[in-house]
């Protein structure tokens, strides 16, 4: 196979920051948790699974000690990429608009990379194929704490809160679009007022009952393949500080004019050009007991 002639564009810092903002518009993980500065290496995090307690000591009395239980989680390094093929005639048609075309590709690709972050952190799945990645840390797994949805969303929300480990504060809720729509439609039968007025028509919820909330189709795993035997979440409640994630390498754009970068044939022979946007994520889930998921009723 012919060697690739690649023009690698390092996107300026302000462009990268803008794209990360676009990613956050399509990623509940980025909207509910905090980006952590990350290097391209495995990082270990320690977590007290049983924290020590203070004691009051009488005058002249001896001080005692406690041995805390410490758990550990390590980040995994995961590269996400979006490759788009186009006719090279588009570049000839109007060279003056070439960067506009690239800008549109980068903008669309950044949204895809945002969805990829969600699918990786929530389900451990690659969204392009819907299949599971190799040994990823993810929030939703077969042992996850779950609540089965009923016809009463207020009761379901209360049950989710009770399910989360009492050692963790709840600081965020991720909503699937179907469940956000169910919340939006609920009204008081006497007054007609909405139960959850925080959920607007466009479902872009900013908070729910006083806690940060975000809505996305990634939450219920619309791109997860049927062969993946994981529960599909209608909502996920928990302490999102337990998700440690970051960007291990800056966003970059490859403009590829020759070779076969994706197995679909030689670009020159097909009169095509490929644009590839890549980002390297790293993430770890410190404690899955800090989350609970609402799942659909089966049958």
- The DSSP bridge pattern shows strands 243-256 and 6-10 to be antiparallel
26, 286, 284, 158 alpha-carbon torsion, rounded to 10°? -20
Mean pLDDT, rounded, for 259-272: 87
Q: Are 178 and 235 in contact (CB under 8 A)?
A: no
Write the pLDDT tens digit of every residue in 207-263: 998 899 999 999 999 999 999 989 999 999 999 999 988 887 666 778 888 888 888
User: CA-based angle 125:129:133, to the nearest 5?
Assistant: 30
Class of domain 6-39+75-295: alpha beta
Distance between terminal CA atoms of the chain?
A: 51
- What is the separation of C-alpha 44 from the centre of its chain, rounded to a whole number of angstroms? 20
pTM: 0.80
Q: Are 187 and 193 in contact (CB under 8 A)?
A: yes
Domain residues of the chain, as ranges?
6-39+75-295
Question: Phi first, then psi: what are they for 73, rounded to 5°?
Answer: -135, 145
174 strand-pairing partners: 214, 236
pLDDT at 14: 56
User: Burial level of 10, CB count in 10 A (0-12/13-18/19+)?
Assistant: exposed
Say yes or no to pLDDT of 195 above 80.
Answer: yes
Lowest-confidence segment of 46-50, 76-80, 159-163, 266-270 by average pLDDT: 46-50
Which pLDDT band holds residue 51 (cuts at 50, 70, 90)? low
* Residue given tokens 């197995």 in the structure block: 263
Q: State the average pLDDT for the chain.
A: 81
Which pLDDT band holds residue 52 (cuts at 50, 70, 90)? low
Alpha-carbon distance values, 174 to 74, 181, 211 (Å):
24, 13, 11
pLDDT at 263: 87
Helices 177-185 & 153-163 angle (0-180, nearest 10): 130
Which pLDDT band holds residue 99 (cuts at 50, 70, 90)? low
Mean pLDDT, rounded, for 19-46: 68
Helices 13-25 & 98-118 angle (0-180, nearest 10): 50
8 strand-pairing partners: 254
178, 179, 182, 183 alpha-carbon torsion, rounded to 10°? -140
Write the pLDDT tens digit of every residue in 128-163: 999 998 877 899 988 889 999 998 999 999 999 999
Mean pLDDT, rounded, for 3-25: 55
- For 10, the 3-state DSSP assignment is strand
Residue with the bigger pLDDT between 152 and 203: it is: 152
Mean pLDDT, rounded, for 177-199: 91
Mean pLDDT, rounded, for 277-290: 86
Residue with the bigger pLDDT between 23 and 263: it is: 263
């Amino acid at each position: 196979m012919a060697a690739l002639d690649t023009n690698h564009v390092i996107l300026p810092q302000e462009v990268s920051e803008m794209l990360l903002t676009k990613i956050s518009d399509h990623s509940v993980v980025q909207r509910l948790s905090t980006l952590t500065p990350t290097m391209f290496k495995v990082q270990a995090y320690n977590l007290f699974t049983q924290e020590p307690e203070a004691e009051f000591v009488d005058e002249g009395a001896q001080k005692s000690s406690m041995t805390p239980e410490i758990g550990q989680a390590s980040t995994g390094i995961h590269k996400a990429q979006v490759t788009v093929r186009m006719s090279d005639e588009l570049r000839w048609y109007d060279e003056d608009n070439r960067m506009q075309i690239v800008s549109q590709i980068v903008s669309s690709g950044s949204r895809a990379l945002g969805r990829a972050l969600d699918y990786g952190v929530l389900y451990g799945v690659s969204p392009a194929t819907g299949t599971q990645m190799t040994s990823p840390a993810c929030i939703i797994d077969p042992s996850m704490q779950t609540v089965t949805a009923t016809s009463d969303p207020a009761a379901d929300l209360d049950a989710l809160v009770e399910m989360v480990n009492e050692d963790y504060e709840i600081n965020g809720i991720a909503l699937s679009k179907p469940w956000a729509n169910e919340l939006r439609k609920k009204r008081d039968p006497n007054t007609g007022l909405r139960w959850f007025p925080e959920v607007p028509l466009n479902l872009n919820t900013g908070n729910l009952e006083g806690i940060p909330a975000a809505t996305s189709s990634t939450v219920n795993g619309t791109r997860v393949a049927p062969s993946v035997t994981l529960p599909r979440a209608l909502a996920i409640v928990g302490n999102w500080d337990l998700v440690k994630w970051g960007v291990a390498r800056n966003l970059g754009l490859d403009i590829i004019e020759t070779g076969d970068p994706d197995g679909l044939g030689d670009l020159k022979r097909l009169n095509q050009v490929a644009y590839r946007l890549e980002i390297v994520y790293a993430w770890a889930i410190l404690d899955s007991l800090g989350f609970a998921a609402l799942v659909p009723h089966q049958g």
